[in-house]
Structure 1
Amino acid sequence: SVSLDKESVVFGDSVLLTITARGISQAEPPQLPEIPDFEVRFAGSRQESFSSYTVAIQGRRVEQKTSGGGMMFDYEFIPKKKGVFNIPSFILTIAGRQYRTSEYSIEVVEANEAPEDIFLTFSADKNQVYLGEKILLTFKWYFNQNIQEYRINIPWLSGLKNFLVEDPQLDKSKRYQRLVINGNEEVIAEKKSEYYKGRQYAVVVFKKILTPMSTGEYTLEPAYLKCDAVTGYKRRQRDRFFNDFFGSDIDDFFGMGRKAITEAFSARSNSLSLMVRPLPEEGQPVSFSGAVGNFDFQVSVAPLKVKAGDPVTVTMKVSGHGNIEQIEIPQFPELPEFKGYEPETRVEAKQIGVESVGEKIFEKVLVPKKEGVYQIPPVSFSYFDSEKGRYQTITRGPFPVSVEKGLKPEKELTIVILPEGKEKKGEGIKFIKQDIRYIKTGLGVIRGEERLFYKSFVFWLWGFVPAPLIALGCFLFQRRKMRFKQDVGFARYRRAAKVASRELKSCEKLIKQVEPGNFYIEISKILNNYLADKLNCSTASMSVEVVDALRNKGIEEVVLKDVKDCYERCELVKFSKVTSNKQEMQRLLNTAKGLIAKLEKVL
């Protein structure tokens, strides 16, 4: 059966459609077709328990029967505009069987407009940006009267494409709380007092940082608010305030322990238009790798006088503000006179507004092979200055390095194999640094014929043990099954790795299709969901800051570093013509798989 919780709804609110399938204990949520004029979201499933009863005739038992039981699936229908709309009849498939629903009509009306003391605003620090340039979005909810119930819908926040969405760094001197949006999502918000057009309001504020991954024009739909505003009080009776977020001293101030009289209001914010411009192709340096902002570049080499075999460290430091986390190591030439090692990278930055301010340091170790005077050629770093609208290139070097003869030069082990009869002519095959595998001369321990297993005591013991073991196994299995149903946190914890592994396999399709944008978003989403399930918290609180939560659980610093590195690598999306290739995407996928395997051992 299919039912609606209401047939008339105010614009900005939603209708709950419930599908009930009786007589089944487990089933996957049915897929609904696209419904015109509505945005449809799956809101969860519930299970009804079965009941049993005995059929008796003239006092004699005839049979035992069961009734009830089944699954209920909830879907949220959010209207896109005002008017009278039909939900057409469609076919559902549940547990392998098909059902056809009835047609429903829903009226969407305009609610009482929010008074001047309840309204929403939605703003961006800039509406035109270059590819890779970050945008700071600010959502504000103003009110100066008591609120009893609320519901906020921000349609684009759940599935924004072509953007990376992240939370700004929190100011530790401020107090933050969680605000529920879109039914079950949570965001970190600040509650404060603010003046607007000469009036004082209580304001709920939260911010998001968007990093565009594709050029074009984008429109962010308005946010919707439905709330019950207090218009008066009656009877001196203490009333619980509507939720933890607003459950502070405001209730005492406005309510004074009296029962509130409420009236429903709705509000809608403005929409936002964003223009993402491509980085100019004209004048783009060869050394440019996606840095956008305003930076300085310094290079140092130490020591400049060494002995052969001793290390020389080349330190390249990029400092300034912009997308500093995404900056890649400047192009470094191959030096045949030196043996090079993979560079080490560290970031020392903090977030001020939308931008990261600080420095990123690359340290590359070179080991000279032999004595002589060599020159490390100039190193260049290029970035796009979004304020000036042009590319900038900074070049440092060259750097002379004097190499003296080492005390213990590296020796080469040479093994020469000469064919028979060629010893004096010096002809043969030459191998460098090869080990010799010797012929084994010992046979090891030789054992006699072992006793057949079916004649052993262990074999006959297993003939009697399985029965109680099977009974114990069934008991433990049923107990575990009930815990999965009753303890949501335990179920999330146990299924986290399996779900993450299945979703990581789906990322291989994105690698074959060479879709770096969707690939990086999917990897970050999988890691967020995995850690949220393991820690039994909302995915909205997942970010690099989760490292602190893992540290409190006693996770080793080596594993914490891997978590942070994986988050940072997910953000290393190239925002210029230089795009990620399949090898880089496959490397990140392998890193994510290895990280989850490590966390499974310690969480």
Structure 2
Amino acid sequence: MIIKITQKYFYAILLFIYCVSAAYVNAQQFNATVDRTTVGQFDRFQVYFTFEGGDVNGLSNFRAPSFNGFRILSGPNQSSSMQIINGKVSGSITFSYIVQPSAIGDFTIAEASVNHSGNTYHTQPVKITVVKGTPQQQKENDGGYSREELGKNVFIVAEANKYRALLGEQITVTYKLYTKLNISSPQISKLPSYEGFWAEEVGPLQNINFEIGMYKGERFRIAKIKQVALFPSKTGTLSVTPFELNVPVIVKKKRTGNDVFDEFFNDSFFGKTETVDFQARSNIIKVEVDPLPSNAPASFNGAVGDFNFKAEIDRKDVVTNESITLRLSISGSGNLKLLKVPEPQLPTGFEKYEPKTVENINRGAVISGQKIIDYLIVPRTAGQKEIPPVEFTYFNPSSRRYITLKSPAFNINVRQGIAGNESASPGFAREDIKLLSEDIRFIKTSNFDLERKQELTLIKPWFWISVIAPFFGLIGIVVFKRRHDRLSGNIQLMRYQKAEKAARKRLVIAKRALDKNDTVNFYSELSSALFGYLEDKLGIQKSEFTIDTALEKLINQKVETSLVERVKRIAEKCEYARFAPEGETSAVAPDFYDESVKVIIELDSSLDARRKK
């Protein structure tokens, strides 16, 4: 009986050791894959050798196959990835090659091998069928690649989360860079144009991070390079123009002769490469924008999204001429920057001043945040007053209906304030009284010592000043009132007059971010200052603004070409800094700030001078 129990435990231990060993062996895998097994005679394709396991740090001595029947164009290119799932760490290392067949027929890519933790792992051979093809046209000396072939291996794809939307509804466009080749830091060639949209940058992205993924059945390294939230401002078919990048592609240098030394040093071990500039261009996105339903309430002012609304006052018991703050708060997700401020209706005897607006925008995947509007109200007459409820209506795209939010009515007790200085009480004025027995004097009959008294000047200088000053004051008031009415009736003129002041405020915020070494917000505020100035000064609507449109208007207004080029460079630098490495942009930030301030000042002087002519 004891022997049977011992044998039972012995077999259980053996089974446990076998399972653990099998799990360890299965955890480490070394596989060979290709993006396609049937290729044309002149086609390029990629071969991947991927090692996967819980620990890839001990990987060494990778030995590639001979690639008989193929010509190596690039490789080995190494990439790695690491992930943690439920506390378990796993990773992979991939060695990739770009090859081209040298003949027609059936070929086999032999096994590759690699060492890991004292063990040698081998891949399975891969069979490739090479069929007859036509030579590629328009070959260029770009390391053996034509422009067409580079376009198949390096490109940008623009994707929208929806291609049909309602007026004012958010559409998120994402730009991704796909590559099979090694590339260096891309530079922006041309930004997309969002005509008919109000655009809000999502992120912004600070660095380009590549991940392995599939696109149309082929394996690529993929990185998200730009994301933007668009809010349509008009209906119909709207287009987003392509986003263009200049991508430096690192390719294996093409052999120039039959020299044996050239053959030797062209081996992949020495990595003889060259960099080729390639212009990557995204696709055009077309979006169908439908109008909102026609049954909109009277209080609807174009808000689209999902919002909350609250109104409150800071006091309900005041005296005349004492100010009250009415605060309207709108929060939620949607086109917050395009929201029109609700107008409260005030009772008779109340005076209202221009509102102060504060915006806190969260630029995540869905644009959200809060908009606070403060009205300063001054009651001029006493009594029990009531501010009627304030209504805010928005359209919710999810429920497809208009929603009206209403604040409560505010009852205010206005007491009569203290009046100004009252007139003095009737009575005698204060005088110096002398009672030195001089109240009665004797009449003098001789020895008169009289002098002729000078004539009194009845009209003093201050009299003329008091007469003329109100006249000039009235003229000044009339001129100011006419100018104010002219600006109020001409929004574009008012924006033109206040453009430089608004830009200066933005530059102050950018300088604070720079002092805190917050380069992301620094470049964001700097671009907002420049773009906002150009919008106001050139009369461009925010939803229709593009840097190309602004530059074209500057040229039409005969601004110096050198100044226009400096504006373009600043705009491109701000956009590039959104996803460039932080160290690359922070070092030049102070000089870049000074240059931006100088450009805005020179631009303002140039535009004002031409307007006066």
TM class, shorter-chain normalised? 0.3 to 0.5
TM-score norm. by structure 2 comes to 0.44
